Amino acid sequence: MTEIKRIKCGARMSEAVVFNGMIWLAGQVGEPGQSVTDQTKTILASIDALLAEAGSDKTRILSAQIWLADIGDFAEMNAVWDAWVPAGNCPARATGEAKLATPDYKVEIIVTAAQA
């Protein structure tokens, strides 16, 4: 039987779960008070770090779900995303507008990846 690995497991959730060569990340958010650009940069750095800890990297992301508190911030978030995502390794992706856990969060990104 393949073991389930939980990364940064807290009382409510794990930041990442690894099972059978797959990695699921919890929704990543930036720091309250940051701009959309800075929250997106913070989130993508967190994704990079969690994927590394799980034995993978951004070239192995299979899908991404991006939630914006205001869909009007789509272009600003995309400017950061487009500079970060590796050419030729773009994941399947969906972006939508939603109320996030606190009004201070402007962006939340959830990814699923394969281990390297």
Percent of the chain with pLDDT over 70: 99
Neighbouring-strand partners of residue 61: 113
The 10s digit of each residue's pLDDT in 19-47 is 999 999 999 999 999 999 999 999 999 99
Question: What are 87's two structure tokens?
Answer: 């050419």
Q: The tokens 């030729």 sit on which residue?
A: 88
Question: What is the CATH classification number for the domain harbouring 60?
Answer: 3.30.1330.40
Which residue spans within the chain are E strands per DSSP?
5-9, 14-19, 22-25, 28-29, 61-68, 92-97, 107-114
At 1-23, the pLDDT tens digits run: 579 999 999 999 999 999 999 99
CB atoms within 10 A of CB 85: 18
Provide the domain count of the chain.
1
- Enter the pTM of the model: 0.96
Residue 32 CA to residue 29 CA, distance in Å, equals: 9
Domain that holds residue 56: 5-114
Task: Say how far apart CA 70 and CA 31 lie, in whole Å.
Answer: 17
Both tokens of 46, joined, read 């967190």
CA–CA separation, 47 and 53 (whole Å) = 10
